[in-house]
Amino acid sequence: MQTSPPKRLLIVYHSTTGGTERMVQAAALAAGTEPGVIVDLRRAVDTAVAQLTQADGYIFATPENLGSMSGLMKDFFDRTYYGVIDQIQGRPYCTMICAGSDGRGAAKQIERIATGWRLKPIQEALIINVNAQTPEEILSPKQLTDSQVAACHNVGQLFGAGLSMAVF
């Protein structure tokens, strides 16, 4: 009996105050429980073209900074964009945003990049709103509610199951 090679889910993220990191940890934990799925969880600054080309699917996660994705997440896309163009098209992806307000600007930026790469979205961006509006709230460590962590877990479980069953 021939077994298929494991599927690799690359989760690329940036986090300063811990909210986005908590989101990707929940997603990674869930995805990693699916048979035949290997999760590669990497900070944006530590991710290069090689990791993108070796992955079968992607979760991109970032905090919302001034209505946009974080600068280090943008740096990741800037460094890797042309190095993988026409090499990863058709692969599945999703986006997770830890937002202080609405998160739509950051989600839209990543959607445009993924469209350029011709990736397939598996769902709408998951935006977790932590309602950080004052300078103190924005800069303080983020705590997610159990339901917010569960939503991130569900994204990871969905992605892992889809890769494991070759749905996408």
The CATH number given to whatever domain includes residue 30 is 3.40.50.360
Q: How confident is the model at residue 4 (pLDDT cuts 50, 70, 90)?
A: confident
Give pLDDT tens digits for 15-71: 999 999 999 999 999 999 999 999 999 999 999 999 999 999 999 999 999 999 999
Residue-wise pLDDT tens digits, 151-162: 999 999 999 999
Other CB atoms within 10 A of residue 5 CB: 8
Whether residue 1 is contained in a domain is answered as: no
Nearest-angstrom CA–CA distance, 78 and 107: 16
User: Which pLDDT value is given to residue 3?
Assistant: 72
| pTM of the full structure | 0.96
In eight-state DSSP terms, residue 5 is P
In a domain, 73, yes or no: yes
Is 38 inside any structural domain? yes
Please report whether residue 2 resides in a domain.
no
* Within a domain: 110: yes
Tell me, what's the pLDDT at 44?
Answer: 98
Reading the block at residue 45, the tokens are 């600054």
Q: For the chain, what is the domain count?
A: 1
145: containing domain: 7-164
Model confidence pLDDT, tens digit, residues 78-111: 999 999 999 999 999 999 999 998 999 999 999 9
**pLDDT above 70: residue 2:** no
Question: In three state form, how does the secondary structure of 23-69 look?
Answer: HHHHHHHHHCCCCCEEEEEEEHHHCCHHHHHHCCEEEEEEEEECCEE
Is residue 21 situated within a structural domain?
A: yes
Q: Does residue 139 fall inside a structural domain?
A: yes
